[in-house]
């Protein structure tokens, strides 16, 4: 039973950490959007504006992905809070955790690739 409580505590910690990171990335995308809006006001080059529009679309997609992951984290946290203390820890909770973990890993990789591309773009046009 003590092992189960420690395991659930560890899961809660992971989910809380992911939620903080996702909220940070969501706010970061708002900051990037603001910078793109500054660029659109002063740029006339059509190629610069085409790339800008692509980044704006990618920001919308990114924010949607963040919202979906946050929703999954909230659902996972509810499952942990309502978990049957007698349920086997190798069962449903662990399987759900692994898929969320992999999705977070993939999301973070893609987020930093987008961020790097945007920073290169900003260096190019600013």
- Domain ranges (residues) in the chain: 2-125
Q: Return the closest-CA partner of residue 15 out of 81, 87, 64.
A: 81
**CA distance readout (Å), 12 to 83, 111, 125:** 12, 23, 42
**CA distance readout (Å), 31 to 24, 56, 123:** 11, 12, 16
Q: What is the pTM of this model?
A: 0.84
Q: At what angle do helices 92-125 and 46-81 cross, to 10 degrees?
A: 160
- 126 confidence band (pLDDT: 50, 70, 90): confident
pLDDT tens sequence across 44-69: 999 999 999 999 999 999 999 999 99
Give me the pLDDT at residue 90, please.
54
- Environment class of 83 (CB within 10 Å of its CB; exposed 0-12, middle 13-18, buried 19+): middle
């Amino acid at each position: 039973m003590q092992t189960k409580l420690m395991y659930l505590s560890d899961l809660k910690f992971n989910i809380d950490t992911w939620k903080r990171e996702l909220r940070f990335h969501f706010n970061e995308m708002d900051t990037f959007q603001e910078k793109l809006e500054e660029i659109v006001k002063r740029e006339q080059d059509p190629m610069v504006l085409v790339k800008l529009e692509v980044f704006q679309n990618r920001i919308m997609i990114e924010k949607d992905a963040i919202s979906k992951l946050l929703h999954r984290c909230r659902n996972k946290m509810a499952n942990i809070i309502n978990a049957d203390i007698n349920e086997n820890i190798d069962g449903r909770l662990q399987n759900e955790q692994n898929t969320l973990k992999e999705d977070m890993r993939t999301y973070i990789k893609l987020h930093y690739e987008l961020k790097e591309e945007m920073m290169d773009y900003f260096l190019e046009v600013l």
